[in-house]
Amino acid sequence: MDVHFVVIGAGGLGCPALLGLHAAGARRVTIIDDDRVELSNLPRQVLFATADVGAAKVDAARWSLLERTAVGADAPTLTTLHRHLDPAQLPALLDELCGAEPCVVLECSDSPRLKFAVHDACVAKGVGVVIGGVLGWRGQAMAVDPRQRDAACYRCLFEAPPPPELAPACATAGVVGAVAGALGHAVAMLAVGLAAQLDSQHPDSQASPERAPPASPAGTCVNFDLLSGRVRQIAPAPRPDCPTCRRNFETGPT
The predicted model gives 215-243 an average pLDDT of: 91
Give the span between the Cα atoms of 107 and 132, in whole angstroms: 6
* Residue 171: predicted pLDDT: 60
Distance of CA 1 to the CA centre of its chain: 16
CB 238 within 8 Å of CB 219: yes
Pick 89 or 159 by higher pLDDT: 89
* Residue 173: predicted pLDDT: 63
* Residue 210: predicted pLDDT: 56
Share of the chain above pLDDT 90, in %: 67
Question: In sequence order, what DSSP letters do the residues of 39-108 get, joined into one string?
Answer: GGGTTT-TT--GGGTTSBHHHHHHHHHHHTSPTTSPPPEEEEE-SPPPGGGHHHHHHHHHSSS-EEEEE-
Quick one: pLDDT band at residue 75, thresholds 50, 70, 90?
Answer: confident
- Dmax over CA atoms of the chain, in Å, equals 53
Digit-coded pLDDT (tens) for 96-155: 999 878 999 999 998 999 999 999 999 999 999 999 999 889 999 999 999 998 999 999
Digit-coded pLDDT (tens) for 24-34: 999 999 999 99
| Other Cβ atoms closer than 10 A to 76 | 17
* Residue 15: predicted pLDDT: 98
* Model confidence, pTM: 0.90
Give the span between the Cα atoms of 1 and 142, in whole angstroms: 21
What is the Cα gyration radius of the chain?
A: 17
Digit-coded pLDDT (tens) for 161-214: 877 766 666 666 677 889 999 999 999 999 999 999 886 655 555 555 555 556
* Residue 19: predicted pLDDT: 97
| Other Cβ atoms closer than 10 A to 100 | 9
The CATH number of the structural domain formed by 4-251 is: 3.40.50.720
